[in-house]
Amino acid sequence: MKSQKLFLFDFDGVIVDGMNEYWNSSLLAFEKFLNPSGILIDQNLYNQVSKTFIEVRPWVKYGWEMIIIVNEIIKKENPLNDNNKRDFLNKYHKNCQKILLDNSWVAEDLQKYLDEARKYQIDKDFDNWIKLHRPFYEVLDFINKIKEDKMKTGIITTKGKIFAGKILEKLNIFPELIFGYESGSKVEIASRLSKEYEIMAFIEDRRNTLIDIRQNNLTNNIPCYLADWGYLKDTDKTNLPHEIKLLKLRNLEELLAI
């Protein structure tokens, strides 16, 4: 019998709003490590997140895709904007793969560059890098209440574990478990955890991830909640499978009564 109860959380978009950090780190990775010819980075770009970047972010599954989006936004010819955004998003994953191929880029390399850009900022000015993240304080309070009830918390993120850990430590949040992209897919991680823990909830802002969880034989008993405060597409909240519940910040503590 599984005696330990565990609440699982996504990180970006659920515990913190890191939009400023995504933009700054992706832009820096592009500038510092890719440095493609013919594109001169205007330093004013770092001051404000691109509106187009914010609108495209809900389609992102892996961090390296954000560097591709930056490339598309700031390139000189046919940049990504309101005029062609719909076409780009209609075949988002296919377009990402095409951009990799056209530029002879490798996804794993882009992810490495993103990690290196984050490390560069942390080493240079850690406090400023931390300030690029806006915590959802209601979620932090909820995590503390989980601990008060003698249950465990786990974070599953597509960010590198070391970077999520640094942010959580600064927020004075210390989950028992943290898994970064290095640990495998969220379904794989949840599958392993379900063998040891009674998972009370998985709170995530990516609808397709929750659908994958519910469709997997090893994880289909995990209660899944879509965080309505996260990075959602307009259509994400509509026609949700009945196994997935839409969750609002004000209703978080109700999960403790289940």
- Whether the per-residue pLDDT at 151 is higher than 80: the answer is yes
pLDDT level of residue 41 (50, 70, 90 thresholds): confident
Q: Which of 131, 155, 184 is the last residue of a domain?
A: 131
Between 184 and 1, name the one with better pLDDT.
Answer: 184
pLDDT score for 77: 86
The whole-chain average pLDDT of the chain stands at 94
Q: Which helix (H) or strand (E) holds 224?
A: strand 224-227
**Confidence check: pLDDT of 1 > 60:** no
12 & 39 share domain? no
How buried is residue 150: exposed, middle or buried, by Cβ count under 10 Å (0-12/13-18/19+)?
Answer: exposed
Q: What burial class does residue 195 get, using C-beta atoms within 10 Å of its C-beta: 0-12 exposed, 13-18 middle, 19+ buried?
A: exposed
Q: Which of 125, 156, 153 is nearest to 139 (CA)?
A: 153
At which of 97, 114, 131 does a domain end?
A: 131
Residue 64 lies in domain = 19-131
Residues 86 and 152 in one domain: no
Give the pLDDT band of residue 34 (cuts 50, 70, 90).
confident
Same domain, 51 and 137: no
- Whether the model pTM is above 0.95: no
Q: How many CB atoms lie within 10 A of CB 219?
A: 22
**pLDDT of 98-134, one tens digit each?**
999 999 999 999 999 999 999 999 999 999 999 999 9
Count of domains for the chain: 2
In this structure, the answer to whether residues 150 and 245 fall within a common structural domain is yes
pLDDT at 35 over 80: no
168 and 198 within one domain? yes
